[in-house]
Amino acid sequence: MTRFLLSWAQISLRETLEINDHRLKEEVEILLDQFWNLYERE
């Protein structure tokens, strides 16, 4: 289930962070990695 959610949500989360927060791509990648690491722990 996690892989399905990851593939589905990754694009939306990335676009939201880049567009709304005007973040650099490197920052977005770090935030996404942190988010998914926390998600997988739960």
CB 18 within 8 Å of CB 28: yes
State residue 5's pLDDT score. Answer: 67
Q: Cα–Cα–Cα angle for 15, 5, 36, nearest 5°?
A: 70
CA dist 18 and 28 (Å) reads: 7
Per-residue pLDDT of the chain (42 residues; tens, 9 = 90+): 566 766 777 888 888 888 887 778 888 889 889 988 888 887
Around Cβ 18, how many Cβ atoms within 10 Å? 14
CB 14 within 8 Å of CB 28: yes
What global pTM score does this model have? 0.65
Residue 23 DSSP symbol: -
